[in-house]
Amino acid sequence: MKKLKLLERRIQQSAKLATKALKDKPTWKPAKGYKYLKDVKPGTKIRISMAEAILINVTGGSCTVIVTEWYGHPENAIAHTGKRQWALQTEVKEV
């Protein structure tokens, strides 16, 4: 009987903690000098660490960009340039 009450109390405490954690979620911000891709206007030239691109369209879950310059390994340039889909939370710098 005593163990059952202790178990019920622990379950209630766990439920309260889970509910509080879901309510108190952190607000994420991009790094200093950067913006999220979702906050950039279409037609803007942007840069990430490995590429430069032009933002074409922002949709519900992703953004369409045209990658114009690839700074990674030259053999991979063909695979990474052209029309691509990037995530809305990608941190970019406006050029």
Instruction: Please state the domain count of the chain.
Output: 1
Supply the pLDDT for residue 62: 94
Is residue 31 a part of any domain in this protein?
yes
Kindly report the pTM of this predicted structure. Answer: 0.72
Is residue 87 a part of any domain in this protein?
yes
Q: What is the CATH number of the domain that holds 72?
A: 2.30.30
Domain membership of residue 35 as a residue range: 27-94
CA–CA distance, 91 with 75 (Å, rounded to integer): 25
Supply the pLDDT for residue 52: 97
Is residue 78 a part of any domain in this protein?
yes
Is residue 21 a part of any domain in this protein?
no
Is residue 20 a part of any domain in this protein?
no
88 and 70 in contact (C-beta within 8 Å)?
A: no
pLDDT tens, N- to C-terminus, the chain (95 residues)? 677 788 888 888 888 888 887 777 778 899 999 999 999 999 999 999 999 999 999 998 899 999 999 999 999 899 999 999 999 999 999 98
63 and 89 in contact (C-beta within 8 Å)?
A: no
Radius of gyration of the chain (CA): 22
Lookup result for tokens 């992703």: 62
